[in-house]
């Protein structure tokens, strides 16, 4: 047994009469680094949590660290941290309010002065940053740093590449290689599109069963292309016709006009002299590396950032601060983001989550009209998640949760759709379907689209305007064509 660090034999988990993992057996030898792949809901996260000891199971699971020091550490996809009051009671707009940032600890305080980990993960420039104001890529590194503080011999990571730009993905690969040199074994739950460079073996899960284990080279040869399921764009055509009629009756010309907009927190310049015009019906991609200022720019549009009033910003042909309420702005914008997903009320049912979009609340707290009930179910059908309507969000895989939140963004027929990393956590087939669905909605309704992604292949084909930020400034603004990695 000494040559194996992890052995599973007949591993089975049953929840609510459904087998989430079914008779899984594998052996991981010393020196091997495994990637587990599979479509959303295949059981990857449940397997990771089971190895960590979270779930009751039948069968055998043997972890062998050779009687050396070190533990099994699991790094989940979503990041969670506590504030100075030792609670995690945050709201998703909080990162844009500088006075609220003071309630969260800094990176330096979180890591408690461990200089080796700070250097390894390149966190020196972030030491005095509040955790709540870190970008997605910076948060991933902080999660990894917190894991390393526990001195793992086996590190399990769930979807670590999700939301990372090309430079952050390269840095993560370098960090993982350095951890292996330190004797740490690594298991990664990921998409087939994001097999890490350090992987020696790839195991494929399907509906809770282990269907193959191949060395990395054999897996890549066998999976050079993955056909996407067919998408039927004719479903709910009446719903999209109503959407189009709603937008045609709106008389504004420009969705957004920003004139030399800047955003500063203390002595840190977040946005610097941004001028940008988005006209009704245009389809934009907003891109840039982690920390470039994309989320902050969006917060000025969605009404979540109080500094919007200190800048020259027009929304729907009207200057911000001339009497409109934040709810009037939100009513015209359908929005989803990783931050919203993180802070959403997960105890809500899928139906309630989608319906909350009528009121722009993070959860449903009002009684629906019959018309709203019917519209909610029609959007659930369009996204093929009607069967989950009465399940709580926390009972679904992260990808199905994300689809529900995208449906939530659309439920009120907004003239503007802002999708910030909507494909985050979706498998390649789901991303292909989502692209087709978003393209079809835009073509049929005339909705204005702002789409944010680090991956060119994830962006709907009808997007033809591109705005790229770097270090808070406009790096490029083009109307056709873009690089493969954003």
Is the pTM higher than 0.85? The answer reads no
φ/ψ region of 207 (left if φ > 0, alpha if ψ in -120 to 50, else beta) reads left
Paired sense of beta strands 4-15 and 58-63, if any: antiparallel
Residue 209 to residues 206, 302, 437, Cα–Cα distance (Å): 5, 43, 30
Residue 222: its pLDDT value, please? Answer: 75
Closest CA to 304 of 345, 337, 260: 337
Q: Where are the beta strands (DSSP E) in 198-351?
A: 201-206, 209-215, 254-265, 268-279, 283-287, 312-315, 318-319, 333-336
Any bridge partners for residue 333, and if so which?
416
Residue 422: its pLDDT value, please? Answer: 92
**CA 414 and chain centroid, separation:** 22
Q: Which domains does the chain have, with CATH numbers?
A: 4-222 (3.40.50.300), 237-478 (3.40.50.300)
Residue 484: its pLDDT value, please? Answer: 44
Residue 370: its pLDDT value, please? Answer: 93
Residue 85: its pLDDT value, please? Answer: 47
DSSP three-state, residue 192: helix
Closest CA to 343 of 97, 132, 51, 37: 132
Q: Which helix (H) or strand (E) covers residue 473, if one does?
A: strand 473-478
CB 106 within 8 A of CB 127: yes
311 contact partners, CB below 8 Å, separation of at least 6: 258, 259, 261, 262, 263, 300, 320
Rounded to 5 degrees, φ, ψ at 399 are -65, -40
Closest CA to 266 of 99, 406, 75: 99
Closest CA to 379 of 368, 389, 364: 389
User: In 182-210, which residue ranges form alpha helices assigned H by DSSP?
Assistant: none
CB 93 within 8 A of CB 301: no
CB 190 within 8 A of CB 196: yes
* Residues 110-125: b if buried by 16+ CB within 10 A, e if exposed: bbeeeeebbebbebee
Residue 235: its pLDDT value, please? Answer: 59
CB 376 within 8 A of CB 355: yes
pLDDT tens digit at each of 486 positions of the chain: 458 999 999 999 988 778 899 999 999 999 999 999 988 888 999 999 999 989 899 999 999 876 666 689 999 886 655 544 444 444 444 444 544 455 568 888 888 767 888 888 888 888 888 877 777 777 888 888 888 888 899 999 998 888 788 888 888 899 999 999 999 999 999 988 889 999 999 999 998 999 999 999 888 877 765 444 445 555 567 889 999 998 988 889 999 999 999 998 877 889 999 999 999 999 999 999 888 899 899 999 998 888 888 899 999 999 987 888 888 899 999 999 988 888 888 889 999 999 999 999 888 888 899 999 999 999 999 998 998 999 999 888 888 899 999 999 999 999 999 999 998 878 888 888 899 999 999 999 999 999 999 888 889 999 999 999 999 999 988 876 444 445
309/322 Cα distance (integer angstroms): 9
DSSP single-letter state for residue 403:
H
CB 315 within 8 A of CB 415: no
Which strands sit side by side in the sheet containing 34-37, from one edge to the other?
A: 71-75, 152-158, 185-189, 34-37, 201-206, 209-215
Tokens describing residue 134: 């870190």
């Amino acid at each position: 047994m000494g040559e194996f660090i992890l052995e599973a034999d007949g591993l089975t988990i049953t929840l609510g009469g459904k087998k989430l993992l079914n008779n899984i057996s594998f052996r991981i030898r010393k020196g091997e680094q495994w990637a587990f792949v599979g479509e959303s809901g295949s059981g990857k996260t449940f397997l990771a949590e089971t190895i960590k000891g979270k779930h009751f199971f039948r069968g055998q699971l043997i972890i062998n660290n050779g009687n050396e020091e070190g533990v099994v550490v699991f790094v989940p996809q979503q990041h969670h941290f506590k504030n100075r009051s030792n609670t995690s009671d945050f709201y998703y707009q909080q990162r844009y309010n500088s006075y609220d940032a003071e309630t969260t600890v800094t990176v330096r305080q979180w890591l408690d002065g461990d200089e080796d980990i700070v250097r390894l993960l390149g966190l020196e420039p972030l030491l005095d940053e509040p955790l709540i104001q870190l970008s997605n890529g910076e948060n991933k590194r902080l999660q990894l740093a917190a894991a390393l503080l526990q001195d793992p011999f086996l590190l399990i990571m769930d979807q670590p590449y999700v939301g990372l730009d090309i430079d952050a993905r390269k840095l993560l690969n370098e960090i993982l290689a350095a951890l292996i040199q330190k004797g740490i074994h690594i298991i990664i739950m990921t998409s087939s599109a994001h097999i890490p460079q350090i992987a020696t073996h790839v195991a494929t899960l399907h509906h809770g069963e282990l269907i193959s284990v191949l060395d990395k080279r054999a897996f890549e040869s066998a999976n050079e292309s993955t056909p996407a399921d067919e998408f039927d764009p004719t479903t709910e055509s009446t719903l999209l016709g109503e959407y189009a009629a709603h937008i045609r009756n709106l008389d504004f010309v420009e969705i957004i006009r920003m004139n030399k907009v800047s955003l500063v927190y203390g002595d840190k310049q977040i946005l610097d002299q941004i001028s940008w015009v988005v006209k009704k019906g245009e389809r934009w991609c907003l891109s840039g590396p982690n920390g470039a200022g994309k989320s902050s720019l969006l917060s000025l549009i969605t009404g979540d950032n109080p500094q919007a009033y200190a800048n020259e910003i027009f929304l729907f042909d009207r200057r911000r601060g001339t009497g409109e309420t934040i709810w009037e702005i939100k009513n015209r914008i359908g929005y989803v983001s990783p931050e919203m997903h993180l802070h959403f009320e997960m105890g809500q049912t899928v139906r309630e989550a989608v319906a909350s979009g009528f009121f722009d609340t993070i959860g449903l707290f009002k009684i629906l009209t019959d018309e709203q009930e019917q519209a909610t179910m029609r959007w659930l059908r369009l996204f093929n998640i009607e069967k989950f309507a009465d399940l709580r969000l926390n009972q679904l895989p992260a990808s199905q949760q994300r689809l529900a939140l995208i449906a939530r963004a659309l439920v009120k027929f907004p003239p503007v759709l802002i999708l910030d990393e909507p494909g985050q956590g979706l498998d390649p087939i789901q991303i292909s379907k989502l692209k087709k669905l978003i393209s079809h909605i835009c073509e049929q309704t005339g909705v204005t689209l702002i789409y944010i992604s680090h991956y060119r292949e994830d962006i709907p084909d009808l997007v033809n305007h591109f705005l790229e930020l770097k270090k808070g400034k406009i790096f490029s603004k083009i109307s056709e064509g873009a690089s493969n990695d954003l």
